Chains A and B, each alone.
Chain A
Amino acid sequence: MIQRFVAAAVSLLAFAGVAQAGKTLDGVRSRGVVACGVNTSAPGFSSADSQGRWTGLDIDLCRAVAAAVLRDPEKIKVVPLNSQQRFAALQSGEVDLLARNTTWNLTRDASLGAVFAGINYYDGQGFMVPAKLKVDSARKLNNVALCVQAGTSSEKNVADYFATHGMKYKPVVFDTAEAVQAAFVSGRCQALTTDISDLAGARAKLPNPDDYQVLPDVISKEPLGPAVRRGDDEWFMIVRWSLFALQEAEELDITQASVASLKTASKNPAVLRFLGVSEDVGKLLGLDREWAARIVAAVGHYGESFERHLGARTPLGLPRGPNKPWTQGGLMYAPPVR
């Protein structure tokens, strides 16, 4: 981590006038890969399988951008980052895109040289406890020893939550998610706090998940989304609309399986426009007319991606909840792709 700070510092020290604006797309095209900053290990969002292939909701977003820009979803370079490295890596230009289940808030949007391109998962912070503790609510966690990862929004939320309810706790803070989980499993802390999606992932990784329970309380809103460097509107637009394309495809019911046939079979003008058959909206983004079709062909629509990595049939078994499309009562709402 220190190396990355030093790298960021050196790049700031030495190269005044390395203009970033408008350059990310050129850099990506000349390098032939999209450099993606992701979580070191967050099952469902980004984790490497036994063959070393990265999968997850955040990885799918990277693949979508690569499919749109480089016409090949495999042309991504995965850069695993812990929570303290992430913004330094984005600032220094080490990654083009930060898709690292990162909470969007004002400070990060306005003062870190980063700008958030949208929300790809609506999350909230919760607690996991050993079942033997027989606690059914976070309100009963007074005096708890609480494992939490350093430098996360969780660290601040939990301070607010316990102060609000007049309860006390002892934070035990580690650098990495792995160390936090190890300390929790060893019994050093009686509770673990982070985003609920993370808790589900951590629980699924444990040898005996049934010995642990995630409490029902949600103590914060955590809109997770991709971020890019400030001052490069062209790249920002591409990332933002790649995310919207995933959501729009679900609303239009264009799936990975049907995308090829729909180009000729569909009568829906919105579908034909989205797939670049009737209109070329891609050129407005500096891309070609097939960009959105390629995204869906590569990773499917948002719902397919969700079910593949986080849904009921995965070890995480997370419900769609607020991540359903707005047409089904959820919060996923993409502006029209036209």
Chain B
Amino acid sequence: MSGPDSRGRADAAAGDASLRLAQRRRRMRRLALQALFVAAVLALLAVFAHNVSVNLQMRQIRSGFGFLADRAGFDIGESLLPYDAASTYAQALLIGILNTVRVALLALVAATVLGVMIGLARLSRHPLVRALALGWVELARNIPLLLQLLALYMVVTQFLPDATEAWSLGSVALLSKQGLMLGAPTALGTALLAGLAAGAALAVGGVRLVRRREGGLFAAATAGLAGLAAGLALGWIGAGLVGGWSRPALEGFSVVGGAALTPEFLTLWIGLSFFASGAIAEIVRAGAQAVPQGQWQAARALGLQEREIVQRIVFPQALRLAIPPLASQYMNLVKNSSLAVVIGYPDVVSITNTAINQNGQALECVAIVMAVYLLLNLLTAWLMNAVNARVTRAPR
């Protein structure tokens, strides 16, 4: 029964087999090459690590991460967690990381709100608004951030009065060279934590509610921010009512009590927000302008108001284009926060600088800082990718 058919099939089978073999061989070769490359990189790293440890030992320089458990012995100007000189290096670094996260997060929110507003203002029909927005953008993004921070810090510290002559703002806050001292709940940490938790819950609830009513992205974002603010206010007031208030007051030549927003923090927060808002405004504007004119015309033909067009038609489409460049702006912002060192804000770089000089372990400390920024930015990228995936999956 061996006809030409079956032979053909056998040939085909043989051909398939040889093809599969060739494919497998190619795959194996590629795998082997990749494995070789990885091995070479690992070997290089191992040589580096070995050389470092040999060199350090030869020069009798202490190495390793054991120092993290040692007593730090220096104080830190502002910290979200309890800290004093008896704490460890690990705790000091944690305070620094939290300070970096705090200023970066707040600047991120402020820069986004400002950036969206300025970006949309750039498209306004009023020439004055357009000109002002253009001026803002050019000022924000054409002067190096370092200079902006130094200038702003100088203005803040020269312009504000001494603590003894602090300006009183409605008896709940004092503004001086020591910073903005606010009346605050005595249990400040609890207030912030509770406020954040309540704020997150309210924000999620607000966004859900708006989405269920088919509200636009704009309305959802507003609801989210409003929820967060309301939650923080609730936590603040609640903790104050339960645990009592601490009011800033002049004691000797210093203002004591309350919660302090130091000049260093304010400068960095304002500076980072302003600088990033310029770039974000341009991203928003570019995104909005990339939405085809036909969309505007169609929306107008449907009789939609100008505001509705922006909020319901243009902005959601612009967002889709804006998110990838926005993500890289956010990452820039996180990295730029390391300029804190020049104005004395105790961020993770500043505290690491101190640590390096107290214990001399520059390699380990710099490695830790690099890892911290890498992780922070990977986290930012991951979050932005998640947002991006959601936005692009939305029905067109």
A interface residues, Cβ below 8 angstroms from B? 1-2, 5, 8-9, 12-20, 83-84, 87-88, 91, 107-108, 111-113, 133, 135, 140, 142-145, 150-152, 155-156, 158-160, 162-163, 169-175, 179, 183, 186-188, 190, 229-231
The interface bits of chain B over 84-95 (1 if a CB of A lies within 8 angstroms of the residue's CB, else 0) are: 111000000000
| Contact with A13, one of B52, B76, B366 (Cβ below 8 angstroms) | B52
Residues of A within 8 A of B341 (CB): 150, 175
Q: What separation, in Å, do the CA atoms of A186 and B50 have in the docked complex?
A: 49
CB-based nearest B residue for A142: B252
Residues of A within 8 A of B154 (CB): 186
Return B314 CB to nearest CB of chain A, in Å. 43
Which B374-395 residues have C-beta < 8 A from chain A?
none
Would B357 and A150 count as touching, CB distance under 8 A? Answer: yes
Would B353 and A151 count as touching, CB distance under 8 A? Answer: yes
A173-B346 contact given A9-B362, A16-B54, A229-B59, CB 8 Å threshold = yes
Return A43 CB to nearest CB of chain B, in Å. 22
| B254 contacts A by Cβ under 8 Å | yes
Q: What separation, in Å, do the CA atoms of A29 and B186 have in the docked complex?
A: 66
A150-B354 contact given A156-B85, A186-B158, CB 8 Å threshold = yes
Would B55 and A12 count as touching, CB distance under 8 A? Answer: yes
| Contact with B61, one of A113, A169, A179 (Cβ below 8 angstroms) | A113
How many A-B residue pairs lie within 8 Å, measured between CB atoms? 149
Return A67 CB to nearest CB of chain B, in Å. 28
Would B359 and A107 count as touching, CB distance under 8 A? Answer: yes
| B43 contacts A by Cβ under 8 Å | no
Would B55 and A171 count as touching, CB distance under 8 A? Answer: no
Q: What separation, in Å, do the CA atoms of A160 and B71 have in the docked complex?
A: 12
What are the 4 closest A-B residue pairs judged by CB atoms, nearest first?
Answer: A151-B357, A159-B85, A16-B51, A113-B61
Residues of A within 8 A of B358 (CB): 107, 151, 155-156
| B2 contacts A by Cβ under 8 Å | no
A143-B254 contact given A13-B51, A174-B344, CB 8 Å threshold = yes
| B73 contacts A by Cβ under 8 Å | yes
A163-B264 contact given A9-B366, A170-B77, CB 8 Å threshold = no
Would A143 and B359 count as touching, CB distance under 8 A? Answer: no
A150-B252 contact given A156-B74, A187-B177, CB 8 Å threshold = no
A169-B75 contact given A143-B254, A159-B85, A188-B263, CB 8 Å threshold = yes
Q: What separation, in Å, do the CA atoms of A231 and B60 have in the docked complex?
A: 9
Residues of A within 8 A of B360 (CB): 87, 107-108, 111-113
Would A84 and B356 count as touching, CB distance under 8 A? Answer: yes
Residues of B within 8 A of A5 (CB): 356, 362-363, 366
Would B353 and A9 count as touching, CB distance under 8 A? Answer: no
CB-based nearest A residue for B357: A151
| B350 contacts A by Cβ under 8 Å | yes
Would A173 and B77 count as touching, CB distance under 8 A? Answer: yes
Residues of B within 8 A of A158 (CB): 75
Return B271 CB to nearest CB of chain A, in Å. 16
The interface bits of chain B over 51-71 (1 if a CB of A lies within 8 angstroms of the residue's CB, else 0) are: 110111011111000000000
Residues of B within 8 A of A17 (CB): 54
| B37 contacts A by Cβ under 8 Å | no
Return B184 CB to nearest CB of chain A, in Å. 16
Q: What separation, in Å, do the CA atoms of A186 and B357 have in the docked complex?
A: 26
Residues of A within 8 A of B52 (CB): 9, 12-13
Q: What separation, in Å, do the CA atoms of A172 and B260 have in the docked complex?
A: 13
Residues of A within 8 A of B50 (CB): 16
Residues of A within 8 A of B55 (CB): 12, 15-16, 18
Q: What separation, in Å, do the CA atoms of A135 and B164 have in the docked complex?
A: 14
| B256 contacts A by Cβ under 8 Å | yes
Would A152 and B357 count as touching, CB distance under 8 A? Answer: yes
Would A84 and B73 count as touching, CB distance under 8 A? Answer: no
A84-B75 contact given A113-B59, A179-B344, CB 8 Å threshold = no
Would B59 and A172 count as touching, CB distance under 8 A? Answer: no
Q: What separation, in Å, do the CA atoms of A179 and B342 have in the docked complex?
A: 8
Would A175 and B363 count as touching, CB distance under 8 A? Answer: no
| Contact with B357, one of A8, A83, A140, A142 (Cβ below 8 angstroms) | A83
A188-B85 contact given A9-B366, A16-B50, A144-B254, CB 8 Å threshold = no
Residues of A within 8 A of B78 (CB): 170
Q: What separation, in Å, do the CA atoms of A113 and B75 have in the docked complex?
A: 26
| Contact with A186, one of B85, B157, B363 (Cβ below 8 angstroms) | B157
Interface contacts beyond A16-B54, A91-B59, A145-B177: sample of 17 additional A-B pairs, CB < 8 Å, sorted by A: A12-B363, A87-B360, A88-B362, A107-B358, A112-B360, A113-B60, A140-B252, A143-B251, A145-B163, A151-B353, A158-B75, A160-B73, A163-B84, A163-B85, A171-B76, A174-B342, A190-B253
Would B353 and A175 count as touching, CB distance under 8 A? Answer: yes
Would B61 and A150 count as touching, CB distance under 8 A? Answer: no
Residues of B within 8 A of A156 (CB): 73-74, 85, 358
Residues of B within 8 A of A179 (CB): 342, 344
Q: What separation, in Å, do the CA atoms of A9 and B48 have in the docked complex?
A: 10
| B337 contacts A by Cβ under 8 Å | no
Return B350 CB to nearest CB of chain A, in Å. 6
Would B344 and A145 count as touching, CB distance under 8 A? Answer: no
| B100 contacts A by Cβ under 8 Å | no
CB-based nearest B residue for A9: B363
Q: What separation, in Å, do the CA atoms of A186 and B145 have in the docked complex?
A: 22
A183-B344 contact given A12-B51, A169-B75, A171-B76, CB 8 Å threshold = yes
Residues of B within 8 A of A88 (CB): 362
Would B252 and A143 count as touching, CB distance under 8 A? Answer: yes
Return A182 CB to nearest CB of chain B, in Å. 8
| B308 contacts A by Cβ under 8 Å | no
| B112 contacts A by Cβ under 8 Å | no
Q: What separation, in Å, do the CA atoms of A163 and B84 have in the docked complex?
A: 9
Return B355 CB to nearest CB of chain A, in Å. 8
Residues of B within 8 A of A16 (CB): 50-51, 54-55
Q: What separation, in Å, do the CA atoms of A11 and B253 have in the docked complex?
A: 49
A91-B350 contact given A13-B51, A108-B360, CB 8 Å threshold = no
Q: What separation, in Å, do the CA atoms of A12 and B54 have in the docked complex?
A: 9
Would B350 and A173 count as touching, CB distance under 8 A? Answer: yes
Return A172 CB to nearest CB of chain B, in Å. 5
Q: What separation, in Å, do the CA atoms of A87 and B59 have in the docked complex?
A: 12
| Contact with B362, one of A8, A108, A229 (Cβ below 8 angstroms) | A8
